[in-house]
Amino acid sequence: MQETEYRYDTQLLIEGEGLDEDAIHDYIENNFKGDCLLAVGGDDLIKIHYHTNEPWDVLKYCRSLGEIFDIVVEDMDRQSRGLKG
């Protein structure tokens, strides 16, 4: 069974002030290896979705921008084997 290149499906919300979805998107894309990046929202709430092997680093960065919540990190390799993520 083939493993996925980026193992962890990482999702969260960032609540803060003056958030810039384009700047956040670009920072994540340029500093953390992964794919399927979405960073959408407004200046006080951003939804992040990213497939990466370093979810803890993405979480640490996002926490530096504001409060993070609704955090989900799922192991897509486990899911592909029929196991709970």
Report pLDDT digits (tens) over 4-36. Answer: 799 999 999 999 999 999 999 999 999 999 999
pTM over 0.75: yes
Q: How many domains does the chain have?
A: 1
Q: Where residue 75 sits, what CATH number does that domain have? A: 3.30.70
How far, in Å, are 9, 44, 61, 63, 69 from residue 73 at the CA level? 6, 22, 15, 15, 12
- Look at residue 29 and give its three-state secondary structure: helix
Type of residue at 27: Y
Q: Is residue 85 part of a domain?
A: no
- Look at residue 62 and give its three-state secondary structure: helix
> Residue 82: is its pLDDT beyond 80?
no
44-71 residue pLDDT tens: 999 999 999 999 999 999 999 999 999 9
Q: Is residue 40 part of a domain?
A: yes
